[in-house]
Structure formats: structure tokens, C-alpha cells
Structure 1
Amino acid sequence: MWKNLTIAERKRLAHENAKDIITCGFDIEKTFIFTDFSYVGGSLRFTIIVNINMNMRNAGMTCILKGIFGISPEDQIGKVSFPPVQAAQSFSSSFPHLFHDNDDHLPCLIPCAIDQDPYFRMTCDVTPKLGFQKPSLIESRFFPALQGESTKMSASDPNSAIYVTDNSKQIKAKVNKYAFSGGQDTVELHRELGANLDVDVSIKYLNFFLQDDDELEHIKKEYKAGRMLTGEVKQRLIEVLSELVARHQRARAQVTEEMVDAFMAIRPLPNMFG
């Protein structure tokens, strides 16, 4: 509804995203992957819809769909109806094949990024009317764009990010050319003043991806003191990312369409909590 994509392309992209999720090691006996397009919470979605209006007041807080989601009168009506689709997924009764009637008050924990927060703020506002527990969020941090915190990753700029489809040559070129450095302008000045770790993108990425905490602290200490140069830090990041992406690509190549269909099949999961 926000992008000019065909239905076929939307379904294809959803399956491609599911393959990347499966590749991360999710257990098919404990995981149900679904799309809003094909699984949308049934009657509960309708209940939520009728409890939300364009200027709803709850607990002293004004919840205005236009203000939260930036919806204007010129927008298609689907943009107004979509937030309840997101909200319905916060409640166990939207998944009758997984939960029973007596599970209605199970709490929901939602890992998401800050861009998804408005949907669930709205959900928390309407939850008391439905008699459910409010969902809780774990808000993940975005990876910074390679060009630094002041810029934004964009699909229109492939050099703003490292992709799991990149090869080692592309990763090396992107990191060396575009990863914003907190180092000084000259080697001499860098040896004297050291690096600013707060703005250095290579350090920020290593915080996410370098598994050895002792090595990470050593790199930070040496780089900040000026004893390690930007090129050395970038080289270590290239090694880490190249290994990670190559491992992901090998595993993803084993994920078939049949496996995606199996994860998305509506089925009981008796071992989900075991």
C-alpha cells in the first residue's frame, strides 16, 4: 500500500525474506512464519478496527492515526485499515491453531525496530478495551549507514549498506571506500590524538559482528590510542563481514521453496515451548 508493487512481487519478496530468516537457524518445530497478506488475525482484526477511530482518546492520551502514521485524506483507505492488521498479531487468539481459548491472556513480546513502534503504541492504547494484556517491545538498534550516523541506509544507494548478497570483493570495496572513519586526517595526527570511536562506522559494525569480546576491546583500546590505524580496523571488519556473509549465503542456498512453505503451513506446534 506504500509501494507500487504487484501482488506477485510482494509475495516473492516475502518468500525471499522468509528464506533469510530460516537461514538464521530457526527451528521449524517451534516457528510459524506468516505474511499479513495471507494470515491476518480474522475476527480479532475486525474487533480492533471497530475500537479505533481517527481521533481516539484513551488514558488522557490522544491517538490520532493521521498523526501517528502520517496518513492524509488523499491516501488510499488501505493505509488506514493496515494498522489493525499489525495490531492483531499481538494477541494469541489471532493464532487459534497454536493457542487455546484459555491462552487469551498470554503476554506478547515483540522484537522490532523503532520504525514499527507506532503500530504497537496504538495497540497498547486500544488493548484495555479488548481485555488483553498490552504487548511489550524490545526495540533493536538500526545498523548505521556506511557513510555514518548522519546519513540513512537506502535501497536506492547500494553503497550505503552491506548486503547478505554481496561478495567478498564488494564488501572490501564498500568498507574501504565508504565506511566513515573516526581516525585523524594524517598518520602523524592519528598517532598523536587517536580515533573517535563514537563516529567510526567500522567500530560500530564490529560491535555487532565481532564475537570475541576480548579482541573487540583490544581493537577499541589500540585504535582510540592511535596505535592502530583506520586501515587495520577496516581490514578486520572486512574479514568478519566476508566470513559472516559467505556463511549465510552457503546456508541460504540450502533453503528451498518447499522449506518456506513448510514454515508457513498452518499447523499445530506441540513442541513450541518445549
Structure 2
Amino acid sequence: MTEKPTGTPSSDGSVVTPWQVTGAVDYDRLIATFGTTPLTSTLVERVERLTGKKAHHFLRRGIFFSHRDLDQLLDAYENGQRFYLYTGRGPSSEALHLGHLIPFIFTKYLQDAFRVPLVIQLTDDEKFLFSKHDVSSHPLESYIQLGRENSKDIIACGFDRERTFLFADSDYIGWLYPNVVRIQRAVSFSQVRGIFGFQHSDNIGKIAFPAVQAAPAFSSSFPHLFPTKQQIPCLIPCAVDQDPYFRMTRDVAPRLGYRKPALIHSKFFPPLQGAEGKMSASDPNSAIFLSDSAAQIRKKVNKYAFSGGRDTVEEHRLYGGDCARDIAFQYLCFFLEDDDRLEDIREAYSTGRMLSGEIKAELVRCLQPMLADLQARRQAVSNADVEEFMRIRPLIVE
């Protein structure tokens, strides 16, 4: 299948790139455009059977909706071969927002369910290279520091320290570099330009960076973490906008004698103002941050969360609300774990028995204790804890 270059608007006007998501995304069309495979209920049931645990609600509700070679990875796992997880964070704000949480919540579930090691990449170099800010006001050091702050939010998600390695590109690049160079040697400028839409005016760091994000998908990039010379398969949980990086990675892997990484993709977490695009750290009114107080959460939800309700109470009681457009309901799909309660809310709101203010109150009651717990756990994360997660040492591979 011939893919459109990354950044080319689809027929519905949406754009999906690693740096920009705009418009109302049609995920079925995105599957066809990117050439990925739908995540079926059969695969979800297989995950449950292999782990002996109920599938995460992100799987049950189709929030993770697409994959590349997940079935082959599960074949290998069933035959006794363990894999490792790889995900990451581009540090652009002092605190993560709710959208940033999605891959980490799901990755923690995968780590616990399969009892596998995990590497987490902090792409401080990417954020510096792709920044639109002046270097004098946003030097590389500022992104390095943001990465250290973000690492505390990530650790607070509860990852197993014995199975988790957290690293910043600016610090670990020496270990990645052999594979980075191999990847760069195997990919032409025309290929990377076709995938990412780079322009001749872009700095050369942008053009070279995709190899840095690709390298952690190969276990040989971590010789001190995985002392065995045998290649360990990799599974990458990520939002679907990151797929272009790993299309390139999977294309180059056979030429380097490496295994292709498997991927599992999530849908985008929408901004408060509506279900188009994704939540952005650059607009504080579009996002709920992990550092927001209970009062700030309530204010943002009540003031900014787009409502799928009717113009008047009378109309709403008569015709009901639109759950597909209502942001409070969409957020509950991500964070309310109780399936029965979610269905009760859906039925009550869509039939008009529940008003917009009431469904927003449900969301506030869901988010406030969740973020309070994360904030307490983050407060308990010390600089020494960060150093330990970032220390180069062997990880448990059962």
C-alpha cells in the first residue's frame, strides 16, 4: 500500500504527524493510510489468556485500537520468549498532562501483566531541535531539566524499579550511538523526507533525529541492561502519531539483521475544548496537568470542557446528550475503570436523565482523587530515586 507522506491532510482535512494533530481523526481511515492492523477482540482475549489477568479497560474500550505484529510477539511469548517494552516522553512542560499519562498507564499494565522489562526514553534532544523558541530563552539545558522533572511524574506511575530503565538522550547517547549510526547509514535523506516531510531549511539535527528514536527499539542498544547477546523482541506502546518513526525503524531492521519491533497504538486524548486534535501542553486551558489542584481541575472541567448537551434543559431532557461529542464523557472513557458505572452514565446522559453539569461533576469526582494520589506519590519521589531509575544496570528478564 502506498502511504501518504506524513503531514499530508487526509480527505477529511485532518493532519497526523509526530508533531501536529489537527482535525477530527477518522481512525479507520488512519489504519488504512498508515497500513496498520486493527486490534481485534480476539487479540484482547488472547492477552487475557496469556497473562491470566483481565484486559485493561484501554483494550476493552478500543482506546488502544491498532497494532503492528502484536500477534507475532504473542506467538513468541507463548513459546517462552520474553520481550521488553519501550516508550518515551518528549519533555516540553514541567508537569505531564492527562494525555501524556495514557501510554504510561498502559505500559505499567503491560509490565505488570507480562512481568517484562521496560526502557523509557526522554527525548530532550528532540524537543530542543524541533523547538520554535529562540535558543537564548530555551537552551538545551532547559529541556534536560524538564526531562528530570518529568521523570518524577513518570516514576510516580508506579513502575517496577528492578525492571525499568529511564534514560535521557543527552546522557545515554553514547550507548545508543552505534545503532544510531547504523540506522543513519541505512536511511537516505529522500526516505526520511518522504516519511516526515522535512524541508531543506530544517536544521540537520531534525533530519538525523529519527534514528535516535529508532535505536531503543533494538535490544543491542542496551548492552548493560540486557547482557545476553541474543536479540530480545520489543513492543512499543505509543500514540498513533508516533507510528512514522517506527515505520522507518521496521523498514530498516532487516537490513541491520535486527528484529522488527511490534507496536500497539492508542487514540488521541482530546483537548478540553473539543474532540478534534489532541491535548496540548502549550495551551494550559486545553489541558489538565498532573500538578493541577482539586480547585483547578473543577474549574477547568466546568469552564472549558466541551459539552454534548442541548441548548436548554428542556431540549436536553427530551433529546438527550451526545456522548460522542461530550468531553466529560470522553474523559470518563479513559479514566473511569468501572464498566458498569460508565454504561450507566452513558445511558443516563444520552437519554437526558443526566444533565451536562452532572456529567462534569462525575468527571471531577473521578479525576480529583486520581491526581491527588499521583501528586502524593510524585512528592515522595526523590532525586536519589530518579538517579536509581536512570542508573545503568542489568534489568530482570524472566
Structure 1 length-normalised TM? 0.92
Cα deviations by residue, 1:56-98 (Å, 9 ceiling, x for unpaired): xxxxxxxx21132222111111111111111111101000012
Aligned with 1:157 (options 283, 288, 292)? 283
Answering whether residue 181 of structure 2 is matched by residue 46 of structure 1, we say yes
Contact 2:274–2:327, Cα closer than 8 Å, also in 1: yes
Report deviation, 1:157.
Answer: 2.0
Cα deviations by residue, 1:152-179 (Å, 9 ceiling, x for unpaired): 4333321101111111111111111111
Cα deviations by residue, 1:221-266 (Å, 9 ceiling, x for unpaired): 1111111111111001011111111111111000111110110011
Answering whether residue 263 of structure 2 is matched by residue 137 of structure 1, we say yes
1:42-191 map, 5 Å: 42-55=177-190, 64-104=191-231, 106-150=232-276, 152-191=278-317
Q: 2: CA distance between counterparts of 1:13 and 1:169? A: 25
Contact 2:309–2:322, Cα closer than 8 Å, also in 1: yes
Q: 2: CA distance between counterparts of 1:37 and 1:113? A: 23
Aligned with 1:2 (options 130, 135, 139)? 130
Cα deviations by residue, 1:80-127 (Å, 9 ceiling, x for unpaired): 1111111111101000012235322x2110011122111111111111
* Matching residue of 1:208: 334
Contact 1:219–1:228, Cα closer than 8 Å, also in 2: yes
Please tell me the residue identity of whatever aligns with 1:273.
V
- Give 1 or 2 for the bigger CA radius of gyration: 1
Q: 2: CA distance between counterparts of 1:156 and 1:180? A: 19
- Give the secondary structure class of the aligned counterpart of 1:29: helix
List gaps (5 residues or longer) in structure 1: 56-63
Over aligned residue pairs, what C-alpha RMSD do you find? 1.4
* Matching residue of 2:150: 17
- Give the secondary structure class of the aligned counterpart of 2:170: coil
Q: 1: CA distance between counterparts of 2:162 and 2:281? A: 34
Answering whether residue 338 of structure 2 is matched by residue 217 of structure 1, we say no
The 3 A distance-change label for structure 1 pair 151 and 113 is closer
Report deviation, 1:16.
Answer: 1.3
Cα deviations by residue, 1:168-205 (Å, 9 ceiling, x for unpaired): 11111111111111111111111111111111100010
Answering whether residue 364 of structure 2 is matched by residue 266 of structure 1, we say no
Q: 2: CA distance between counterparts of 1:37 and 1:140? A: 27
Q: 1: CA distance between counterparts of 2:258 and 2:204? A: 27
List gaps (5 residues or longer) in structure 2: 1-128
Report deviation, 1:141.
Answer: 2.0
- Give the secondary structure class of the aligned counterpart of 1:32: strand
* Matching residue of 1:30: 163
Q: 2: CA distance between counterparts of 1:66 and 1:255? A: 41
- Give the secondary structure class of the aligned counterpart of 1:89: helix
Q: 2: CA distance between counterparts of 1:150 and 1:24? A: 27
Contact 1:93–1:101, Cα closer than 8 Å, also in 2: no
What stretches of structure 1 move > 6 A for 4+ residues in a row? none
- Give the secondary structure class of the aligned counterpart of 1:146: coil
Q: 2: CA distance between counterparts of 1:169 and 1:231? A: 16
1:221-260 map, 5 Å: 221-260=347-386
Q: 2: CA distance between counterparts of 1:126 and 1:151? A: 30
Q: 2: CA distance between counterparts of 1:265 and 1:137? A: 26
- Give the secondary structure class of the aligned counterpart of 1:74: coil
Percent identity between matched residues is: 52
Q: 1: CA distance between counterparts of 2:245 and 2:198? A: 13
Structure 2 length-normalised TM? 0.64
Contact 1:159–1:174, Cα closer than 8 Å, also in 2: yes
Q: 1: CA distance between counterparts of 2:300 and 2:251? A: 43
Q: 1: CA distance between counterparts of 2:287 and 2:201? A: 33
Please tell me the residue identity of whatever aligns with 1:216.
L
Q: 2: CA distance between counterparts of 1:37 and 1:115? A: 23
Q: 2: CA distance between counterparts of 1:234 and 1:10? A: 35
Report deviation, 1:6.
Answer: 1.4
Q: 1: CA distance between counterparts of 2:204 and 2:277? A: 32
Q: 1: CA distance between counterparts of 2:228 and 2:335? A: 42
